[in-house]
Amino acid sequence: MADAGFIALTLTVSKEGKQFVSRCEELGTASCGDTVDGALENIKDATLEYLNTIERLGQRDRIFEEKGITVRKTRPTLVPLPHALHPGSVASPYVTKIPVAV
């Protein structure tokens, strides 16, 4: 796979019971883990799998347009985080290369 550019996403983690639930706010992917770090790693994996799948299906452009996701030619250095988080949640910016099927 080649790279078409970069996207900046917002990952959030909140504690629910004994687990930490993680979510990509822009794409709606979700995962969980036993720790905050584990939940963040799991949501990164789930989000990358989702990105690869929508690319294979030829749906990336449509989904990005619907969700207002902008592809940037260069890696952004400053990624703003959302102002409104649920109490007890933490947010982390996530910048990733866009997979392109070749």
What is the average pLDDT across 62-81?
87
pLDDT number for residue 90: 83
Percentages (nearest 5) of helix, strand, coil residues in the chain: 30, 35, 35
pLDDT in tens, 12-41: 999 999 999 999 999 999 999 999 999 999
* Own/partner pairs, 54-62, CB within 8 angstroms, 24+ separation: 55/1, 55/98, 55/99, 55/100, 55/101, 56/101, 60/98
pLDDT at 99 over 80: no
pLDDT number for residue 36: 94
Number of domains in the chain: 1
Residue 50: which CATH number? 3.30.160
pLDDT at 62 over 90: yes
Q: What is the mean pLDDT of the chain?
A: 88
pLDDT number for residue 12: 93
User: Which structural domain, as residue segments, surrounds residue 65?
Assistant: 2-100
